[in-house]
Amino acid sequence: MQNKTFIPFYDIKKCPNEVLVVDAHHPQGFDLSHWRGAPVPKNCEADTSTEIVLKAIQNKLPELDKKYVTNNHYDIDGFLGVWTVFNPNKALAHYDLLTEMAQVGDFREINFDYPDWKKALKLVCWLNDEEAELFYPPFGAPEIAEKEMEACVPKYIHFLEVFSKVVDLPLDKIPETEEFNLVLNHLEKIDKQETIDDLRIRILHAKEPLHYYALYSKSQSSDIVISIYSDNRYELEFKYTTWINTTRKHYPRISMEKLCDQLNKIEESEKKWEAEHFTDTAPILRLKGAKLSKKERYQSPCFRPIYSSSISPDDFQKICTNYFRGHYKMLSKGETLDWKQVRKLNEMVFA
């Protein structure tokens, strides 16, 4: 496998068909990605782009010999996938660790059955901390796609060098961060949680809003998370797992516009229930205050205001679960559909 060079995403046109596209999609590159529309090579199917790359190396795909590598954004899964391309032998030696890190970073899930889950979590938090301190936090660049394509390049150049020195460290030698300690603390703050299996909905109760890595930690079998906090504070969110292509069987996303209408009819506070469109990376249903930026929505619930509702916790939970149960009767769980198909299904459901 020849030496690689990381190039900006928009430079693909300068060397078409010579580029590995990791955790993104481009018709002139060879995709190793879980994005919708990105064809996954045979026998490389996986939930994260990182594991797709790992399987591609195991299967010795000839396309891995391409000289150039790119991505149109920086995040944990994207970076680990790129790092794996640059360090194939070392990556295979850390297969389980990298796969766990990618799922923590992208899906905010923790596999507590994995013996080194704390190391995976600590490394992800360290990467997050370094990213924010040296560059900018996720979605912190101007909200223009071209800006992220350009601004993410220095991140890749930096972390491709430094991560190789950190991944081999034992748990107690990895730099500790406030985020890592916060997540461990918030894992202890969960009062109760349950999964409604037929709806693939996770319902979690806690007194105060949590960090996402704690909130979603046990949500592997769910696509929607309902958070119920003290003082009648709630959020409902579609997980990112239903925006990309995974091996998981799930319902296609449906619009939450009519659910907002139901809640607003009985909401007696001055605020209104709103939710992003189902094509957003992770739509959140919440009582609206000041409009949240993409950066603010990506940050954990513990870092954003969540407002009290006049609706009781039991009623909120019942209304939300009945909404999805009623509309899912017309649908079935399966593979990830393309957005054209999802839009058609929504037109049918809400005709």
> Quick one: 36 and 161 in the same domain?
yes
pLDDT beyond 60 at 145: no
* pLDDT in the model for residue 297: 84
328 burial type by CB count under 10 A (0-12 exposed, 13-18 middle, 19+ buried) = middle
pLDDT beyond 70 at 155: yes
* Domain count along the chain: 2
Residue with tokens 């009985």: 266
pLDDT in tens, 46-100: 999 999 999 999 999 999 999 999 999 999 999 999 999 999 999 999 999 999 9
> Quick one: 92 and 229 in the same domain?
no
Last residue of a domain, one of 176, 210, 229: 176
pLDDT beyond 70 at 144: no
Are the beta carbons of 26 and 76 closer than 8 angstroms?
Answer: no
What is the amino acid identity at position 230?
S
The percentage of residues in the chain with a pLDDT greater than 70, rounded to a whole number, is: 98
pLDDT in tens, 187-227: 999 999 999 999 999 999 999 999 999 999 999 999 999 99
Q: What is the pTM of this model?
A: 0.95
> Quick one: 105 and 210 in the same domain?
no
> Quick one: 117 and 201 in the same domain?
no
The whole domain housing 137 covers 5-176
> Quick one: 196 and 157 in the same domain?
no
Residue 181 maps to a domain: no
> Quick one: 132 and 202 in the same domain?
no
> Quick one: 112 and 215 in the same domain?
no
DSSP codes, 152-186: THHHHHHHHHHHHHHTTS-GGGSPP-HHHHHHHHH
pLDDT in tens, 115-143: 999 999 999 999 999 999 999 888 776 66
* pLDDT in the model for residue 187: 98
